[in-house]
Amino acid sequence: MQILVIEDDARLAQVIRKGLEKEGYEADVAYDGKMGLRLALSKNYILIISDIVLPEINGLDLCRKIRANKPEVPLIMLTALGETDDKIEGFDAGADDYLIKPFEFRELIARIRVLLKRTGTIKKESGPVLQYEDIEINTDTKTVKREGKNIKLTPKEFKLLEYMLRNPQRVLSRDEIARNVWDTHFDTGTNFIDVYINYLRKKIDKPFVNKLIHTRAGMGFILQSNPDVP
């Protein structure tokens, strides 16, 4: 459930990102229109939040370019401009909703939920059992099975595997893993994430023919049955 935030005010962008993560979403942040467009076209976001006044590519042109390539993705415009003509121009560019700064975060969440409900992508609970290929974990009983065989993991190994199962076939950077599994930022001077990835590999990959955890050099790790698929 990934949302893209395109906002050149770094403080506001981080406030929105942290608020979205507390609501159970994942959020990417872009600080200019060019970076925002690149991310919007390269990943499948359930919703995009964009300021109108942006460097490189302004929000209205950005909205038009996104709409031309991904007409189905909901888009909320953020702006300090509040005139009726500005709103009309935003809607004409393809925005689904319009929120004027300053705003309360709960209002933004309410707008997001309405749009996701309208498009049928409202966030659903996945239940206690997560499965990918022949590996299965139960988040209630904290048990892990592969090919029907029980595998014993430490609490941190379990949490790491759970996060990977919730994000299969997607490259997870070390920083993302550190934030979501360890609740910290990745220190490039340490290798604790690589150590735990190796712990997992020994337990859930080494005894089996089909290897699921793969390294993408310079990017991170991916849970994928076929490593040759981009």
CB atoms within 10 A of CB 44: 9
pLDDT at 151: 94
- Tens-digit pLDDT profile for residues 87-135: 677 777 888 888 888 888 888 998 888 888 776 554 444 568 888 888 9
Cβ(30)–Cβ(6) below 8 Å:
yes
CATH match of 129-223 with 1.10.10.10:
yes
Exposure on the CB side of residue 182, measured as CA atoms within 13 A:
13
Q: What pLDDT sits at residue 229?
A: 43
The pLDDT of residue 183 is 66
- Locate the domains of the chain by residue range: 2-119, 129-223
| pTM of the predicted protein model | 0.53
pLDDT of residue 86: 62
Calculate what percentage of the chain has a pLDDT beyond 70: 87
**DSSP β-ladder status, 47-51 and 2-6:** parallel
> Which residues does the chain have with pLDDT short of 70?
81-87, 119-127, 183-190, 226-230
Count of helices and strands (H, E) across the chain: 8, 11
> Which CATH superfamily includes the segment(s) 2-119?
Response regulator (3.40.50.2300)
Contact 96, 49 (CB under 8 A): no
- Count Cβ atoms below 10 Å from residue 96 Cβ, excluding itself: 19
Dist. CA 135–CA 53, nearest whole Å: 46
